[in-house]
Chain A
């Protein structure tokens, strides 16, 4: 993890301007990185933000610190999914993989973003809430967070990871369209029980006009109809679905 050498630190506080999650504290005329708040995103290190060169890297101790870093720093590639950072495949290769088929509705619940960060205990609350509502959580080969789940059917995470903070992490999975209302209701309830935010994406096969019937369910629940989208334009050669 990054650390600030107190001998070199002049207390100018320049580094605080560059911390993505305000994890650098100023005490006794020196800056230091609070390990409980730091997400290991490495912006301070990579961008060499300290004019005195006082910020240096220390070894990441243990699996969870490494997990924290790989998911918070988009330059790193996750060992299992092969995707950089906290990434999952979601809609981006769906034309090739057919992961989300007609009748499936996917959700990408991007915990901690924009910019607030997330303790894994809050990710667990959300994962368990949607799992209880019938949401099928994606397995570890598709999404990094699943590697910490003791049971994909419940969304429960291993106890030891809960106090680690990440810049963000995605809870991904799918359900059939007739379950969508229950899953969204679960999200409407659990959003009041967490100490952070999440950005929600709804994934679906679409017609030539970019429309899908799942959006009618969304609208009927009073959730504003989306105006932004990430459009897979169907140029990949399919392997799973013709």
Chain B
């Protein structure tokens, strides 16, 4: 699936948004994955992954780390987000050292991700490049809404809910950070970036203020 690939919004904001994945391959290394998954979680926690989760349980910001760890099965899919290139570099260094043999994917702006790979001493094998959105683009929501909803590529975050949260923040009923966490709960994978989202909300609401 390509649910982390087609994020939208301001490129500078996307440069502070990296998605990490551990992937098992069916029939090859998809049995007894838990010890390896725990290595990925340990590395992610050590470098401060702002959100991560297992799609079979949910995101860290909604479930406890122990609960997610306990529920890991061979059907689990571990993934999360970083906001700084330095985290990506350190994460890759740690995972490389563990020699898990699992596939590792980092999604983000290529001018940030490729140098991070080099710094970590890993060599990109293949890339899925985003060639953008095609078709009836005039029917898409506005750019601000899309920059938030596309952080959950499975589209579990309803556009109307984004508007609702923006209104709540605008009326000082919640902070941008609280709004971002409310939205993040809907992304079961844990790849929604609450830090970037709070920044988008703050900028949007700020722009509308007199």
Which residue in A93, A115, A199 is a CB contact (below 8 Å) of B23? Answer: A93
- In this assembly, does A25 line the interface, its C-beta being within 8 Å of a C-beta of chain B? no
User: Are B158 and A108 closer than 8 Å at their CB atoms?
Assistant: no
User: Are B102 and A231 closer than 8 Å at their CB atoms?
Assistant: no
User: Are A116 and B140 closer than 8 Å at their CB atoms?
Assistant: yes
Chain B nearest CB from A184 CB (Å) reads: 9
User: Are B131 and A200 closer than 8 Å at their CB atoms?
Assistant: yes
Cα-based distance from A196 to B51 in the complex (angstroms): 31
Cα-based distance from A223 to B117 in the complex (angstroms): 26
Given contacts A116-B139, A231-B110, contact A81 B124 (CB under 8 A): no
- Mark interface residues in A61-81 (1 if CB within 8 Å of B CB, else 0): 000000000000011010001
Given contacts A93-B103, A96-B25, A228-B110, contact A215 B129 (CB under 8 A): yes
- Mark interface residues in B94-120 (1 if CB within 8 Å of A CB, else 0): 011000111111111111011001100
Cα-based distance from A214 to B11 in the complex (angstroms): 23
- Mark interface residues in B174-198 (1 if CB within 8 Å of A CB, else 0): 0000000000011011000000000
Minimal Cβ-Cβ distance residue in B for A111: B135
- In this assembly, does B63 line the interface, its C-beta being within 8 Å of a C-beta of chain A? no
User: Are A202 and B128 closer than 8 Å at their CB atoms?
Assistant: yes
Report how many A-B pairs have Cβ atoms within 8 Å: 272
Chain A nearest CB from B104 CB (Å) reads: 5
User: Are A114 and B146 closer than 8 Å at their CB atoms?
Assistant: yes
Which residue in A167, A203, A204, A208 is a CB contact (below 8 Å) of B154? Answer: A167
User: Are B101 and A236 closer than 8 Å at their CB atoms?
Assistant: yes
Chain B nearest CB from A96 CB (Å) reads: 5
- In this assembly, does A195 line the interface, its C-beta being within 8 Å of a C-beta of chain B? yes
Chain A interface secondary structure, helix, strand, loop or mixed? loop
- In this assembly, does A12 line the interface, its C-beta being within 8 Å of a C-beta of chain B? no
User: Are B28 and A170 closer than 8 Å at their CB atoms?
Assistant: no
Which residue in B2, B25, B122, B137 is a CB contact (below 8 Å) of A233? Answer: B122
- In this assembly, does B171 line the interface, its C-beta being within 8 Å of a C-beta of chain A? no
- In this assembly, does B208 line the interface, its C-beta being within 8 Å of a C-beta of chain A? no
Residue of A17, A116, A227 with most chain B CB atoms under a 10 A cut-off: A227
User: Are B2 and A170 closer than 8 Å at their CB atoms?
Assistant: yes
Chain B nearest CB from A68 CB (Å) reads: 14
- In this assembly, does B123 line the interface, its C-beta being within 8 Å of a C-beta of chain A? yes
Interface stretch, picked from A3-11, A29-37, A84-92, A155-163, is A84-92
**Number of B residues whose C-beta is below 8 Å from A?**
77
Interface stretch, picked from B64-72, B159-167, B199-207, is B159-167
User: Are B128 and A229 closer than 8 Å at their CB atoms?
Assistant: yes
Cα-based distance from A237 to B99 in the complex (angstroms): 9
User: Are B25 and A93 closer than 8 Å at their CB atoms?
Assistant: yes
- In this assembly, does A110 line the interface, its C-beta being within 8 Å of a C-beta of chain B? yes
Cα-based distance from A166 to B161 in the complex (angstroms): 20
Cα-based distance from A205 to B125 in the complex (angstroms): 6
Which residue in B21, B139, B160 is a CB contact (below 8 Å) of A92? Answer: B21
Contacts of B110 in A (CB 8 A): 210, 226-229, 231
Cα-based distance from A223 to B132 in the complex (angstroms): 9
User: Are A92 and B55 closer than 8 Å at their CB atoms?
Assistant: no
Which residue in B7, B100, B125, B154 is a CB contact (below 8 Å) of A206? Answer: B125
Contacts of B4 in A (CB 8 A): 230
User: Are A41 and B156 closer than 8 Å at their CB atoms?
Assistant: yes
User: Are A231 and B117 closer than 8 Å at their CB atoms?
Assistant: yes
Chain B nearest CB from A79 CB (Å) reads: 11
Given contacts A18-B161, A75-B56, contact A209 B114 (CB under 8 A): yes
Cα-based distance from A16 to B163 in the complex (angstroms): 12
Given contacts A198-B134, A205-B126, contact A115 B103 (CB under 8 A): no
Q: What are 9 residue pairs bridging A and B, where the CB atoms are less than 8 Å apart in the complex?
A: A18-B158, A84-B56, A90-B1, A201-B5, A218-B131, A223-B131, A226-B132, A229-B130, A231-B113
